[in-house]
Amino acid sequence: MKVFVNICYDKGVPPPPEGSEDAIQKAMKGESTSPLEGEDEEEEWYVPVVVSEPRLDKDKAGKQSLVVDCVYNSEVRSRTLRDPDFKIFLVELGLQRIEGQTGLTLSRNIGTPNIAAKGKLQPRTVRIPTALLNPPPSSKASSEDVPSALLVEKKTGRKSKGKEKEILDKGKAMDNVNSESKEGGGAQASKRPLIEEIGPGESADAEKPKGILKQPSSASPSTPTAAATKEQEQKSDFMIPIDVSWSWEKLDSGKLQVTIYIPDLTASSITSGQTYLDIEPRRIIVTLTNNESIDIDRSLPDAQLTAKIRDRAKEKADVLARHNKGTTKLTKELEELVIAESDKEVTSMLLLKRERAFDVDAAKAQWFVKDKKLVITL
């Protein structure tokens, strides 16, 4: 399948830190900046990037393709115009971040179609670690002592006519890069929030990132043992949020209320920013501590919504069957039960799809840790 990557710029994305030309060149080559004896340690230079979740589109021939937006700070754009190597560096950085976020393996067979952008650049909300928003040591410190692990929600871009939390500044796509994709090593593509590269798991390392690009394969660690691989496979089974469920209702006030049940919900996962909520006019995304997400996307076609729910149900049935190790009859009954539950979810989803858009600005979310649920009124 072909993958289109929109390289975009917006002032709302944090800029790179100050750095010497030597530090920038080392970052572009994927080298670590180790100081010589007697010299002060130099901060490693890096480029923050916001990566959207892949969305379906069609290429010129009418075949299905994926589109992903990579958004950099507007300040880095000027250098791409005078330094071709830096432009290539940003493209490669974007491809690596997409691979890390989705689990896909992208080829480096790259083309540059003569179009401003592939698809419509949708405004969105981005969550950024506060460490990247804090002023540098030379500037005046903030009066508030904000923990660097916390995340803040930052609106960027222009406000549209609709009531929408936005990020992308439309029309600022520089290049449209397409690349062929292959499924990566049997790993399941992880669905993270719609736009988030600098996520909660990375906030602790935001001040001093180690290695902006992946090292060559020769620098890779040795091949894991069979026992370690088996353990990783068993662990990955539970990366699927199989016990998560949700429902919705229309209140007498006319508002919509969506209730999501999350068995692993804890107060610490919320306060640390590991579990959080993103709301769009036709979409709700809850990111969980295991980097999986609950994605209620009303913008998809009916057939695609149905297929998505059924695929997740089959995945859940397979996981339960493997870990229950029951008879063939029990496995079959388990699968039928899970599929029946998915049929109810399909019906609920299709009914919700036909309701009005979510009132994002007036949305209210309540986390009930004791009851393991999230209630959203919008």
SS (H, E, C) 224-261: CCHHHHHHHHHHHHCCCCCCCEEEEEECCCCCEEEEEE
Does residue 76 contact residue 172 with C-beta atoms inside 8 Å?
A: no
Angle, helix 84-102 to helix 21-28, in steps of 10 degrees: 50
Q: What's the pLDDT score for residue 346?
A: 80
| Residue extents of the structural domains in the chain | 2-30+43-219, 234-377
3-38: string of b/e by CB count within 10 Å (b at 16+)? bbbbbbbbebbbebbebeeebbebbbebeeeeeeee
Burial class (CB in 10 A: 0-12, 13-18, 19+), 354: exposed
- What pLDDT score was predicted for residue 200? 45
Q: What is the dihedral sign for C-alpha 302, 303, 305, 310?
A: positive
pLDDT in tens, 153-171: 344 443 333 333 333 333 3
Residue with tokens 């063939």: 328
- CB distance 201 to 17 below 8 Å: no
Classified as helix, coil or strand, 317 is helix
With vertex at residue 293, the alpha carbon angle to CA 292 and CA 295, rounded to the nearest 5 degrees, is 150
pLDDT at 79 over 60: yes
| Token pair listed for 173 | 């796509």
Q: Which amino acid is at 317?
A: A
DSSP 3-state of 78? helix
- Once rounded to an integer, what is the mean pLDDT over residues 355-368? 89
pLDDT at 377 exceeding the cut of 90: yes
Least confident of 22-26, 40-44, 358-362: 40-44
**In the structure encoding, which two tokens stand for residue 336, read together?**
């039928």
Separation in Å, CA 87 to CA 39, 49, 67, 90, 180: 31, 14, 19, 5, 20
Residue 230 has pLDDT above 60, yes or no: no
Q: Percentage of the chain surpassing pLDDT 90?
A: 5
How far apart (Å, rounded) are the C-alpha atoms in residues 370 and 372?
A: 5
Mean pLDDT of 289-315: 80
Q: Average the pLDDT over 15-38 and give the result.
A: 76
pTM: 0.40
What's the rounded mean pLDDT across residues 10-39? 77
Q: How does DSSP classify residue 360?
A: S
Of the ranges 109-113, 142-146, 265-269, the best mean pLDDT one: 265-269
Confidence of residue 177 (pLDDT cuts 50, 70, 90): low
User: What mean pLDDT value characterizes the chain?
Assistant: 70
Decide if 15 contacts 73 (C-beta within 8 A).
yes
* More confidently predicted of 353 and 33: 353
Structural contact between residues 68 and 3, judged by C-beta atoms closer than 8 angstroms: yes
pLDDT at residue 375 in the model:
94
Q: At 330, is the pLDDT very low, low, confident or very high (cuts 50, 70, 90)?
A: low
Q: What's the sign of the alpha-carbon dihedral 261, 263, 269, 274?
A: negative
pLDDT for 257 equals 94
Higher pLDDT, 374 or 124: 374
- Residue 367, pLDDT above cutoff 60: yes
pLDDT digits (tens, 9 = 90+) for 239-267: 344 457 888 999 989 899 999 988 888 88
Q: Cα 200 from chain centroid?
A: 11
| Cα 120 off chain centre by | 18
Exposure string over 62-95, b if 16+ CB within 10 A, otherwise e: eeebbbbbbbbbbebbeebeeeeebbebbbbbbb
Whether the Cβ atoms of residue 33 and residue 208 lie closer than 8 Å to each other:
no
